Structure 1
Amino acid sequence: VDVVIDRIKLGESSAGRLQEALEQAWGMTQGTAAIVVEGTERRNVRRGLVCPSCARGFDPPRPGLFSYQSPVGACEQCRGFGRVIGIDFQKVFPDPSKSLAKGAIRPWSGKSSTWERRTLKKFCARLDIDMTQPWGELTKEQQQAVIRGDGTWSGGKYPGILKWFQYLESKAYKMHVRVMLSRYRAYDPCPACQGKRLNPTALSYCVGDLDLAGWHALELEEARDRLTTWKASHAQGELVRKELVSRLGFLCDVGLGYLTLDRQARTLSGGEAQRVSLTAALGASLSGALIVLDEPTVGLHPSDVAPLVACMRSLADHDNAVIVVEHDPLVIGATDRVLELGPGAGAEGGRLLFDGTPEALRARHDLPTGRALAEGRAAVAPMRREMRGKLRVTGARANNLRDVSVEIPLGIVCGLSGPSGSGKSTLAEDILYRGLARAFGVADVDPAGDHDSIDGADQLA
């Protein structure tokens, strides 16, 4: 049943009357009304933010809606973490060369799992699964049968590994159960939000044709360039745009433009983290502050020192006092004043040996730092060893690595060099160490970074 609220002749003076009629209609129909213009189709109009095509309603925007740390904006399934807890079957079956009879299922290899092993034996006999065959040689169907089992405990049936872990979850109030479960945890991307951490309503809002997760996935340099050309629709938005461009500009100026906004802080290298901290001070426009930096070049490649020095000079130019504890000659040479303590360490130190400019220190050959500045770094003669094999990493793609394949010689000292953030730690620790640890059956190690293969591990056994 339709009720006609008003008939209006369109014109400049009809806007107020039209709004009044809509408000009256919404009050009578729980926020639903219709406008019929003569000669056109009927158009439904609803109060609030509603899609005109599908009539889906949206919550009004508020700060909490755009934060995965708020229950208003967080994904309901993963609660804003972007990952859900599951079972890491590489930890459950760490050695594919072992058979079920020889303890391929690591959590069932102890004396307390006699019932599980006996039930598994009956189950494998019923399904004709060879328990003496290595786990890695069983078919996918046989492996899934062992993992999923009968799916129930009733009648002495085999519950399967998944059901067994679910049972343990119900006993997680016990300390020893929590410790045991932690050894086999896996953190998988949330199937609901695909790792975006926000709920569908938060992702419905777009700025410059990108939702918030889309902006987070951009590299800093691209995000700055997009915001530079984006036009805000009102003065408040323009203030926010300028502030964002300024903050992103500081990060790009110190060579961090390749990072993405959603990069986790724990995955940053030491040099990257140092520069992020410094740009935070720059972005806050501090003035009249005392800023103390303790060896900020630790872990930095020489090519990264110049942007760091420029950042420190910018802090000083804003009337801040910057004190740097440092050994790097490039940083010492860029300071306005140098204090040298010594002459040795511990009981041999603690005295002021020099107070002056870097140029004056360079002329003091009686001081260790003065000699180092004047003579440069002495080269160390390399030790010659015979290579005894090699490891080959193929298709490394974690963090900053871009499908890298590399051969690492064994039996010699092999160095990984490159600018900060180029992927050295990712290659050495996240891929090589974790990949080899998994190959040797070490259970309490996080999954290796994304890569195709690691060949040559047998040479380390």
Structure 2
Amino acid sequence: MSNSKQIEIIGARVNNLKNIDVTIPRNSFIVITGLSGSGKSSLAFDTLYAEGQRRYVESLSAYARQFLGRMNKPECDQIRGIPPAIAIEQKTTTRNPRSTVGTSTEIYEYLRLLYARIGRTLSPVSGEEVKRHYVQDVVEKMKEYRPGTRMAVLSSIQLRNGRNLQEQLDILMKEGFSRVDVGEQFYRIDELLEQKQQPPAEEVLLVIDRLSCSSDKATVNRLSDSVETAFLEGDGECIVRFWGEEGIESFTFSNRFEADGITFEEPTEMMFNFNSPVGACPKCEGFGKVMGIDENLVIPDKSLSLQEECVQCWRGEKMSEWRREFVHNAYKVDFPIHRAYYDLTEEEKGLLWNGCHDQELYGINDFFAMLEKNLYKIQYRVMLARYRGKTDCPLCKGARLKPEALYVKIGGKSVSDLVLMPVTELKDFFDKLTLNETDATVAERLLTEIHNRLQFLINVGLGYLTLNRLSNTLSGGESQRINLASSLGSSLVGSL
């Protein structure tokens, strides 16, 4: 019987190994040294790793094995006591243009889950949190009032199929509704229909139910049914009015995920996946870059001002007319023609690039639009090609995700903000992140995995990297250390 504390290799004949017998202690740090060609890699990778991986894969079901690479059995008489093995490849990990540090270490996968579970969608208009209300929210609001307080459940009247108010009220009355609310006053529907002059439809609310606040089961059930009906009749909107001690108070609840007149997409895991059509920016398809006019080619020397001909394409006898025309009209928008390009504000750079057509000011983008309209001229095609390059996507600004995903925040940061942080800053952000009790419970395991993997990256000296750094731009040493951090982050024990 083999000793479980050691690995025994008998008669290894892989590559340069000449029928050797080796005993290697387990749970120890082992270094294999020797001259070039002496069989170090043959022993470590082609024998130990190959057999450990092969035996692990063969322990899986036939269905699982079809998705995994098969390794050949090393040529040796016997290997005993070998555990499952992990190896770090000594090469750049991938040339895939979609692969990043975040996806390679799986940290981004946990961030996607985190934002889908506890992310808060904020309206870009008002900055308010977008919420979907449920029946229970109305019940909780009722319980805030003193028992016996009068309340009413109302809904707006939807004029369906081109009906006018009178026709819609006739149908509602046939469905069993009897009252409406006009200006906080209740009227019977038949009385309102008898009036010669009826109020505008938007001022009329349908009375679903009138009841008194109470926490007993019968009242809660009745209120729940009434709110469900209000959501149905009001196209997802319910109005609840209370006659409290401080006067009349009305609250609007909506079971639609919307705010400021905008309907938002509820966060899901795939919404933050730039490798999926569900989450990828529709403009750049998740790459973050598009072929466009490269700012660095158009303005190679940013220490020059417009007057000093910082715009490369506006030089020469003919094209300099664009620069002279811009300089001539710059006073209309207070554009500083003598200020270096790198000292311009974002607003001033926007004027230089986009112009201000109301003031007859035409910018760099207008110039290239003119070139594109005249592509039948070979000199214009050549000039346009000279200034084209990979630039940040104008829609997602390089974030790779569709705009809806960037509305979702945790701790005031979108997932795009987090992947732009160096790993050390990102770990500080999560160390200082405070969550309410519910969110903390939901995110506990996700945060643990994120913390551990960030710490592993810092431990192997990669704290300066950002998670959106492309894998194919990493050096060989950085790629190796990322693979090492990924393996350590898996928390496997007892493996080789």
User: Same-fold call, TM > 0.5?
Assistant: no
The normalised TM-score by structure 2 is: 0.40
The normalised TM-score by structure 1 is: 0.43
Larger Rg computed on CA atoms: 2
